Amino acid sequence: NAGVTQTPKFQVLKTGQSMTLQCAQDMNHNSMYWYRQDPGMGLRLIYYSASEGTTDKGEVPNGYNVSRLNKREFSLRLESAAPSQTSVYFCASSFDGDNEQFFGPGTRLTVL
Amino acid sequence: GENVEQHPSTLSVQEGDSAVIKCTYSDSASNYFPWYKQELGKRPQLIIDIRSNVGEKKDQRIAVTLNKTAKHFSLHITETQPEDSAVYFCAPRATGSDYKLSFGAGTTVTVRA
């Protein structure tokens, strides 16, 4: 099993460009999450999907949109990238909200 | 939302000594208390967790203790080894929070050989 996979691993964007970060899990998990990690600030939840067909905002949703494409895949879209969105983005999944979250390898995004 | 504080922010210990990290939270409805470890350049991984009906849990060299009255829980690492060098995050979760973990800012632990 690959666990949680993310693409791309690295990305450089110019201000105003758009892009989609992809996340997939092969553990038959119901819940999926997107976090961003900035130095000294831990991980902050952007959006989450408690189950297929549902999505909800987390702590820092502004400037992002998500799509739970199916049970396996959960994508994060930046419509108009800003330098403040420079960060490392982690996708995670869990069987349900009461269980361990498994993280993907992360995407390092730089917005110039 | 939940306010989470971790102390200390950095910790340097001699190999073989013990390390203790404390996490303080604000929401008295919190009922799940995990600790994650993140090695440099890697993803966070769960190392131990505890639920509100248990006061202490051990797994080999690591343990977590919970004081719900005082609203804090702690990670204890004994007989530290170089591979324990990492950033550690607490992430309490409150009931009714709809699965949302609230991560602390992290504690950087360095084990000196």
**B81-102 tens-digit pLDDT:** 999 999 999 999 876 666 688 9
Q: Does B14 contact A at CB distance below 8 Å? A: no
Cβ neighbors of B85 (< 8 A, separation 6 or more) are B39, B109, B110, B111
Measured between alpha carbons, how far is A52 from A6 in angstroms, rounded to an integer? 18
User: B32: which chain A residues are within 8 Å (Cβ-Cβ)?
Assistant: 98
How much of chain B, in percent, has pLDDT values that exceed 70?
95
Q: Does B98 contact A at CB distance below 8 Å? A: yes
Cβ–Cβ below 8 Å for A105 and B43: yes
Nearest to B98 among A40, A50, A103 (CB): A50
Question: Which tokens belong to B30?
Answer: 């919190």
Looking at the complex, report in whole angstroms how far the Cα of residue A45 sits from the nearest Cα belonging to chain B: 8
Residues B34-87 pLDDT 10s: 999 999 999 999 999 998 778 999 999 999 999 999 999 999 999 999 999 999
Residue type, A40: G
